[in-house]
Amino acid sequence: MNSVFPILKSSLSIMIPVFFAALGGLFPALAGALNIALEGLLLAGAFSSLTVFYFTGSAFAAVLAAISASLLISALHIFASFKLRANLFITGFAVNLFSSGICVVLSEKIHKTRGVVTAAGALSGQGLLTWYLVTAAILLLLSVLAVYKMPFGYRLRACDKNSSSLISLGINPENYQKTAILISGFFCGIGGSFLSLNLGAFVPGMSAGKGWIALAVIFLGAKKPLGILAAAFVFALAESFSNYAQGLWSLPADFILAFPYFCTLIAIIIVSVVEKKK
């Protein structure tokens, strides 16, 4: 029993960035404009929040900086994809590469290092986790209302398979797709800020595939907000358990570390089979 609560707490900490990224990514996914740049957006949010906190000591300013950075990169993504008519997925890959590179370059210019950047007065602790959990609950509720109870949600979902209906009503589906990508940037900024503020440091590549996992979580959750919450928690629980198991079992460390990703793969296969049988 003594090990249960630490595992659950660790699971919640792991879940937060994945959940925010997946919940944000839900909107463009529903609009038929899947945003594969979630990884880069998380990383940009993490670097921006830690940098601002490093100089100001303000968590509020740090979160705002993370949101602003993710929104800015999302706007560049939109400009390249919709204005310049570049392929949406190629642009998403480019955003991930750009974010990874620009964070290192800015870190060297601002912090004089390409490695780990730490901030005094780290915010990691129960209070920070609680704040993010409350924020997640509020945004989850708002997302459910936006998707299922508001005209915005109806039109957003129509962008994917019934875009001709929207056009006949004089509504441009691309405007909703652009808005959806910006929403994903907003959510990723919050999730990215937790990565660095919870650790009290920025580590190059610290998103560590969480943006890609978030994409899987969107589909594992059947493109539904509550389903995304469940899928994100299951992945986080598997990763937390694998971290705990490293000190208990005499299994190769690589195998144990791969456990959460193996669980995700199995879950994707099961969901795919179930969907095909419907």
**What is residue 186's three-state secondary structure?**
helix
The pLDDT, as a whole number, for residue 190 is 97
Q: What percent of the chain has pLDDT over 70?
A: 85
Whether the predicted pLDDT of 237 surpasses 80: yes
The pLDDT, as a whole number, for residue 220 is 87
Measured between alpha carbons, how far is 46 from 88 in angstroms, rounded to an integer? 24
Whether the predicted pLDDT of 36 surpasses 50: yes
**What are the structural domains, with CATH classification, of the chain?**
4-277 (1.10.3470.10)
pLDDT in tens, 189-230: 999 999 999 888 999 989 988 999 999 899 888 899 998 998
pLDDT in tens, 131-190: 999 999 999 999 999 999 999 999 999 998 888 888 888 889 999 999 999 999 999 999
What is the average pLDDT across 246-269? 64
Measured between alpha carbons, how far is 183 from 175 in angstroms, rounded to an integer? 12
**What is residue 214's three-state secondary structure?**
helix
**Is-contact 230 22, C-beta < 8 A?**
no
Q: Give 214 or 249, the one with higher predicted confidence.
A: 214
The pLDDT, as a whole number, for residue 1 is 45
Cross-strand bridge partners of residue 118 = 201
Predicted confidence band at 66 (pLDDT cuts at 50, 70, 90)? very high
∠ Cα 184 204 261 (to 5°): 65
Q: Is the pTM of this model over 0.85?
A: yes
pLDDT in tens, 102-133: 999 999 999 888 888 888 665 656 688 899 99
Q: What percent of the chain has pLDDT over 90?
A: 57
Mean pLDDT of all residues in the chain?
87
Whether the predicted pLDDT of 7 surpasses 70: yes
